[in-house]
């Protein structure tokens, strides 16, 4: 099966009127797109039958399954990916405490909180935000909580952090196609052991892997799956047991 066929298989196999009625999304007009995508993601979340149907189909679709991940502090399940329309929907579930990580994104997106809360900071970075930035140059300009039911849309260049303030926080993300190969992330709080931090700093370059341990000011790149090695993809791949746990848990919580 070709890549072109594989990435359309779930779309061809699943009739979804909600998505069929959407034209290709123009993510460059953020105020306009926010009206569309926030309505769309709320309507999707409210249709629990559709939500459950797409969730339970993921393990049977190799294209979507390959995008489901277990990461350092969260798990992700991709439910839909229509590249032609710039419309990918994924679930994001917190699994551990997350530090304050100042970052921007490779894509613009809309986020709907289904359960729990984020402590959301927006930052201003003096002289831009790249590998030469130091922590003192990144200052918060807004602080607010995003609670269950709250929805926001954010541009890929916006600098923010959204650490989970409740373990088990769950959200739906509707994102556009990537417009960058990678996006930088800076730790504004320390994570892990000092000796691990020292070893990381000795390498003298930004990693493309989120570290298990890091000091304030440590930076790394978030990249797309096309930039990751097969070993790295295998390392992050969600297990079937974890996926089925989330299917059960989401039903227990009344999300699906």
Identify the helix (H) or strand (E) that includes residue 161: strand 160-161
Q: Which of 10, 37, 28 is nearest to 174 (CA)?
A: 37
Q: Are 63 and 81 in contact (CB under 8 A)?
A: yes
Residue 217 has pLDDT above 90, yes or no: no
Tokens found for residue 123:
């930052």
Q: Are 156 and 129 in contact (CB under 8 A)?
A: no
pLDDT in tens, 69-97: 998 889 999 999 999 999 999 999 999 88
Q: With cut-offs at 50, 70 and 90, classify the pLDDT of residue 158.
A: very high
For the chain, give the mean pLDDT.
90
The whole-angstrom distance between residue 173's C-alpha and the CA centroid of its chain comes to 7
HSE-CB of 92 using CA atoms within 13 angstroms:
19
Residue labelled with tokens 């359960």? 115
pLDDT (mean) for 219-227: 84
Q: With cut-offs at 50, 70 and 90, classify the pLDDT of residue 205.
A: low
What confidence score (pLDDT) does residue 196 get? 44
Q: With cut-offs at 50, 70 and 90, classify the pLDDT of residue 194.
A: low
What confidence score (pLDDT) does residue 198 get? 54
Q: Are 76 and 90 in contact (CB under 8 A)?
A: yes
pLDDT (mean) for 194-210: 57
Alpha helices, DSSP H, located in 204-239: 230-236
pLDDT in tens, 228-240: 788 888 889 999 9
Residues whose CB is less than 8 angstroms from the CB of residue 88 and which lie 6 or more positions away in sequence, other chains included: 78, 80, 81, 82, 174, 175, 176, 177
Q: Which of 256, 244, 253 is nearest to 115 (CA)?
A: 253
How many Å apart are CA 211 and CA 31, to the nearest integer?
A: 35
Residue 60 has pLDDT above 90, yes or no: yes
CATH node for 3-252:
2.60.120.10
How far are the Cα atoms of 62, 114, 145, 224, 233 from residue 229, in angstroms, in the given order? 18, 32, 36, 11, 6
Q: Which of 27, 64, 23 is nearest to 179 (CA)?
A: 27
Q: Where do the structural domains in the chain lie, given as residue ranges?
A: 3-252
How many Å apart are CA 61 and CA 7, to the nearest integer?
A: 10
Residue 2 has pLDDT above 60, yes or no: no
Tokens found for residue 204:
């003298």
Identify the helix (H) or strand (E) that includes residue 6: helix 3-6
CB atoms under 10 Å from CB of 163, counted, come to: 19
What are the φ and ψ backbone dihedral angles of 117, each rounded to 5 degrees? -145, 155
How far are the Cα atoms of 56, 113, 196 from residue 173, in angstroms, in the given order? 18, 9, 32
């Amino acid at each position: 099966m070709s890549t072109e066929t594989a990435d359309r298989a779930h779309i061809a196999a699943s009739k979804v009127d909600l998505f069929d009625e959407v034209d290709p999304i123009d993510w460059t007009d953020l105020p306009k797109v926010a009206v569309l995508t926030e309505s769309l993601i709320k309507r999707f979340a409210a249709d629990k039958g559709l939500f459950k149907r797409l969730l339970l189909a993921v393990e049977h679709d190799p294209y979507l399954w390959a995008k489901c991940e277990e990461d350092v502090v969260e798990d992700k399940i991709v439910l839909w990916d229509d590249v032609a329309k710039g419309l990918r929907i994924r679930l994001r579930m917190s699994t551990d405490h997350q530090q304050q990580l100042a970052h921007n994104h490779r894509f613009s997106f809309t986020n709907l909180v289904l359960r729990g809360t984020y402590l959301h900071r927006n930052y201003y970075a003096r002289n831009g935000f790249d590998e030469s930035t130091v922590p003192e140059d990144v200052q918060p300009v807004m602080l607010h909580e995003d609670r269950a039911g709250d929805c926001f849309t954010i541009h890929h260049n916006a600098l923010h952090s959204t650490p989970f303030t409740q373990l088990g926080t769950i959200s739906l993300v509707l994102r556009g196609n990537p417009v960058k190969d990678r996006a930088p992330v800076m730790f504004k709080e320390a994570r892990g052991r000092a000796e691990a931090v020292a070893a990381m700093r000795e390498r003298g370059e930004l990693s493309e892997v989120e570290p298990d341990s890091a000091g304030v000011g440590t930076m790394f790149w978030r990249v797309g799956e096309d930039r990751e090695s097969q070993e790295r993809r295998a390392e992050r791949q969600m297990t079937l047991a974890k996926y089925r746990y989330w299917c059960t848990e989401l039903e227990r919580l009344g999300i699906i």
